[in-house]
Chain A
């Protein structure tokens, strides 16, 4: 199974009630897969007329308490930002998958990580966050999807899975199993048609004096709770490391190969891989910076996660960067070259 299909089958397993999407490369395997699996399970599948419509169909389905998702790639995700802002304002749970490609504009269809800022800063208008998960294998494409629906329901928030074309297209062995049951709050806010004579209203409009500020405070308190409880990251070969690489997604896989090769050559190098990109594992990286002299951030962008790494390191260690853009994929050898250089220049100092 390719990453996109693994993610799609995991959506079935997660009890996704409805999928809405508009075709765009490199994520079309998701909709092609769900076009037969969803109806076969008696669930809803619609190919919408645009990404605007898709995200708003998700909005409608989620408002009635159903588990709903959409998937797209970078240009389509840009179109969805309006809807994602409304989802945040209305506090509706939803899952959005972004299989990133090169940009800006139409860009190309090669894998990229240029949408990190858009995903982790909110993306649309207003003061909000979405939970952002960065899978790094076909197995994690599935695992993140299972986790995403639970997190979305628990916090009434949008969860974005930030993958890339490479992860979407590649195949690896995969084990699919449902997640252990997580107790989730009842959806007594959902629109079901005046249940029990009580009117439910879902809105993102708060006109009363101070009402919107109160609403924002409530949202921010929720975001702090998520930062407290939902940070996930992987630490790899940090023992005695003098250089620590920070990378997510497919770049973390490449970095892992570079770390293994470096260790074979006797270079003390390790890896921190954020799995949640928001909330960002700032504490873990900050702790690492206390111990390790140099941090190297690697991305398929001009340096977006780099800013979060710098904030986490807070000047305690130099933070260097290696990146490729526009669909360029860094090789393990390129990264290893960077690591070698860093260790050499450190010895000279």
Chain B
């Protein structure tokens, strides 16, 4: 029988600790496929965040480091500047990148660091028990917004990608989602482009935001979670390419 689908060699042969229906498994797989297809496994260094993906180094078979909450873009800066021929990526959640690490991601983009950032937005703090994230949408119930997030007092969902796209040092920003197969394919294409830019030595930071389901803390089934991204989340966080200096110039 012909093999239709197999593990990519950049993913290790082990089960993940993620909840059923979680988007991290899909995102890891896409990342691993991109690294394999680009042939950069032997010169890539990855940075794992604090958050559910803290153990990403157990699943991705590339050199990896686990760093303090939110600081990945600063760590990545230190790595890339000292090793310009290596491909450096950070993999960060919404708490990591959009709350505690806001300064680091803004300034890495502002300095036009040649990095690739994979930003997983699931609108909630998963690892610590489903608290409000900066990207939690209005009305969304979390452990710390039991009545649903109110703009007055709890603020509006933070659109970091739009913010970053304003900076000249961010050369490519795209928001994707994992809510159906075409969107997953698009997410992979975006990731691949973000890595290619770094490989070409493009002069700035590339970021792919991925709207990703968290059925556990959204308190819904995996399929409902996918639908919730389509119906609610992508209304607050519109999908598409926010900036591509390369293509915009053409």
Is chain B in direct contact with chain A in the complex (CB below 8 A)?
A: yes
The reply on A191 being an interface residue by CB < 8 A is yes
In Å, the complex CA distance between A82 and B79 comes to 19
Q: Please state if B103 and A50 are interface contacts (CB–CB under 8 Å).
A: yes
When C-beta atoms are compared, the residue in chain A nearest to B57 turns out to be A201
Q: Please state if A57 and B78 are interface contacts (CB–CB under 8 Å).
A: yes
Of the candidates A52, A195, A197, the one having the most CB atoms from chain B within 10 angstroms of its own CB is A52
The reply on A64 being an interface residue by CB < 8 A is yes
In Å, the complex CA distance between A52 and B61 comes to 29
> What 1/0 mask marks residues of chain B from 133 to 163 whose CB sits below 8 Å from any chain A CB?
0000000000000000000000000000000
A53-B104, A56-B75 known; A193 vs B44 contact (CB < 8 Å)? yes
Interface size class of A (residues with CB under 8 A): 35 or more
The reply on B38 being an interface residue by CB < 8 A is no
A53-B71, A53-B107, A193-B45 known; A60 vs B66 contact (CB < 8 Å)? no
Q: Please state if B71 and A83 are interface contacts (CB–CB under 8 Å).
A: yes
The reply on A129 being an interface residue by CB < 8 A is no
Closest chain B CB from A156 CB (angstroms): 14
Query: Hey, which chain A residues are within 8 Å of B82, CB to CB?
Result: 17-18, 44, 60-61, 64, 66, 68
The reply on B186 being an interface residue by CB < 8 A is no
> What 1/0 mask marks residues of chain B from 42 to 60 whose CB sits below 8 Å from any chain A CB?
1111011000001101000
Query: Hey, which chain A residues are within 8 Å of B81, CB to CB?
Result: 18, 44, 46, 57, 61
Q: Please state if A48 and B65 are interface contacts (CB–CB under 8 Å).
A: no
In Å, the complex CA distance between A195 and B74 comes to 23
When C-beta atoms are compared, the residue in chain B nearest to A207 turns out to be B55
B contact residues, total (Cβ < 8 Å): 37
The reply on B76 being an interface residue by CB < 8 A is yes
Q: Please state if B75 and A205 are interface contacts (CB–CB under 8 Å).
A: no
Query: Hey, which chain B residues are within 8 Å of A201, CB to CB?
Result: 57, 63-66
Closest chain B CB from A56 CB (angstroms): 4
Q: Please state if B44 and A205 are interface contacts (CB–CB under 8 Å).
A: no
The reply on B68 being an interface residue by CB < 8 A is yes
In Å, the complex CA distance between A52 and B69 comes to 11
In Å, the complex CA distance between A63 and B66 comes to 10
Closest chain B CB from A194 CB (angstroms): 5
The reply on B165 being an interface residue by CB < 8 A is no
A18-B78, A63-B75 known; A56 vs B67 contact (CB < 8 Å)? yes
Q: Please state if A202 and B66 are interface contacts (CB–CB under 8 Å).
A: yes
Closest chain A CB from B245 CB (angstroms): 22
The reply on B62 being an interface residue by CB < 8 A is yes
Closest chain A CB from B42 CB (angstroms): 5
When C-beta atoms are compared, the residue in chain B nearest to A197 turns out to be B42
Q: Please state if B66 and A56 are interface contacts (CB–CB under 8 Å).
A: no
Query: Hey, which chain A residues are within 8 Å of B62, CB to CB?
Result: 193-194, 199
Query: Hey, which chain A residues are within 8 Å of B42, CB to CB?
Result: 193-195, 197
In A34-75, which residues have CB < 8 Å from any B CB?
44, 46, 48-50, 52-54, 56-64, 66, 68
Q: Please state if A20 and B78 are interface contacts (CB–CB under 8 Å).
A: yes
The reply on A203 being an interface residue by CB < 8 A is yes
The reply on B29 being an interface residue by CB < 8 A is no
- Taking a contact as CB atoms closer than 8 A, the residue among B79, B107, B111 that contacts A191 in the complex is B79
The reply on B28 being an interface residue by CB < 8 A is no
Q: Please state if B63 and A191 are interface contacts (CB–CB under 8 Å).
A: yes
Query: Hey, which chain A residues are within 8 Å of B83, CB to CB?
Result: 64, 66, 192
In Å, the complex CA distance between A56 and B96 comes to 14
Closest chain A CB from B7 CB (angstroms): 16
The reply on A223 being an interface residue by CB < 8 A is no
When C-beta atoms are compared, the residue in chain A nearest to B71 turns out to be A56
In Å, the complex CA distance between A17 and B86 comes to 16
A48-B74, A53-B104 known; A83 vs B63 contact (CB < 8 Å)? no
What residues of chain A have their CB less than 8 Å away from a CB belonging to chain B?
Answer: 17-18, 20, 44, 46, 48-50, 52-54, 56-64, 66, 68, 82-83, 86, 90, 191-195, 197, 199-205, 207
Q: List 6 A-B contacts (CB under 8 A).
A: A49-B106, A50-B103, A60-B80, A193-B45, A199-B64, A200-B63
